[in-house]
Amino acid sequence: MKQIICLEPGKFERREVETPTSEVGKVILKVKRIGICGTDLHAYEGMQPFFSYPRVLGHELACEIAGETTTGLRYQKGDHVTFIPYFPCHTCIACRNGKPNCCTNIQGAGVHIDGGMTEYIQIPEYALIDGKGLTFDELAMVEPMAIGAHAIRITEISADEYVLITGAGPIGLGVMAFAKISRAKVIAMDVNNDRLEFAKKYFGVDYTVNALENPAEQIRKITNGEMVTAVIDATGNKRAIEGSLEFLAHGGRITMVGIQREAFSFNHPEFHKRETTLRSSRNATREDFDQVVENIRNGKVNVAALISHRLPFDSLPEIFPQLLNPQMGVIKAIVELD
């Protein structure tokens, strides 16, 4: 079968490798769509933490079951599925406490272990997500949307509270989508006006703020001087993270979805006087995946609008570097294998 591997930063190689064979408790999937995400782009650039080379990238996958399942009950050959692409150990303290998404020994497809830039992939059956009623395009969007659903759930967003979401890329848009489902008053912030208009048009955000145009004053006006009770960072940008307190109300909370490799800091008196809650949001759980699938099925999440570029699998090594060019206007690129 064909496989594309990232040998080192900036270098892909095509390979012919053996198709996986059946193992008890695992299932072979034929890959139909691969979503390209920030993790893949950062890995190609050599800026992805928790990473080693060479690595087969790709974890936002839409698949078809290619072999018989162990049980043969819920899933059958030919069924459309996606899967939770981070595999926990099930025994560490995080797993025992119901947090497999931040397992001590987690193995993330396309990060710690090889992922989905390949024609066939074998995964544990327990990780499957039923794709009945969803298109392959929609299935490829389930994982990034689950990241957003998880961030909103653990931040405990309530109806009518003002929530600031920084970064209007695919992950940030997913956070916005589920903040709206929670009936929050959503403020989207970015430096790109086109992205902000996109967020308003397709994801129904209530307000948009350009981060380069006196954002604190804009947010003060929107919130009648009270500022927001939650900031969710989807930029991973050090300056954006450190600036979060400027927009946060007393008693508020900050959730970081984006990853920053460097150390960051807050002014402690400003952080302390707010009794600020600071947390990270890593990956997602089955609960989040199920919520995403349900909301795509009922039309509450417009994932189709996110797909801006389609790429053929065979040409991916040549086209991939172009996705890093801001002038390409990429929101979400999908690789097609059929």
Q: Where are the domains of the chain?
A: 2-141+303-336, 148-280
Q: Which CATH homologous superfamily contains domain 148-280?
A: NAD(P)-binding Rossmann-like Domain (3.40.50.720)
**Residue closest to 180 by CA, chosen among 196, 199, 167, 166:** 199
Domain covering 2-141+303-336 in this structure, CATH number: 3.90.180.10
pTM assigned to the model? 0.95
Per-residue pLDDT of the chain (338 residues; tens, 9 = 90+): 999 999 999 999 999 999 999 888 899 999 999 999 988 998 999 887 778 899 999 999 999 999 777 656 688 899 999 999 999 999 999 999 999 999 999 999 999 999 999 999 999 999 999 999 999 999 999 999 999 999 999 999 999 999 999 999 999 999 999 999 999 999 999 999 999 999 999 999 999 999 999 999 999 999 999 999 999 999 999 999 999 999 999 999 999 999 888 899 999 999 999 999 999 999 999 999 999 999 999 999 989 999 999 999 999 999 999 999 988 889 999 999 97
In whole angstroms, what is the distance from residue 99 CA to residue 111 CA? 19
| Extended beta strands in 257-331, E state | 277-280, 307-312
What confidence score (pLDDT) does residue 221 get?
98
d(CA 88, CA 65) in angstroms, rounded, equals 22
Q: List, in order, residues 6 or more apart from 120 with CB less than 8 Å away.
A: 1, 19, 20, 28, 29, 30, 31, 66
| pLDDT on residue 73 | 63
Give, for 124, the enclosing helix (H) or strand (E): strand 120-124
Q: How far apart, in whole angstroms, are the C-alpha atoms of residue 53 and residue 157?
A: 38
Residues 248/170, Cβ–Cβ less than 8 Å: no
Pseudo-torsion of CA 304, 307, 313, 314, nearest 10°? 130
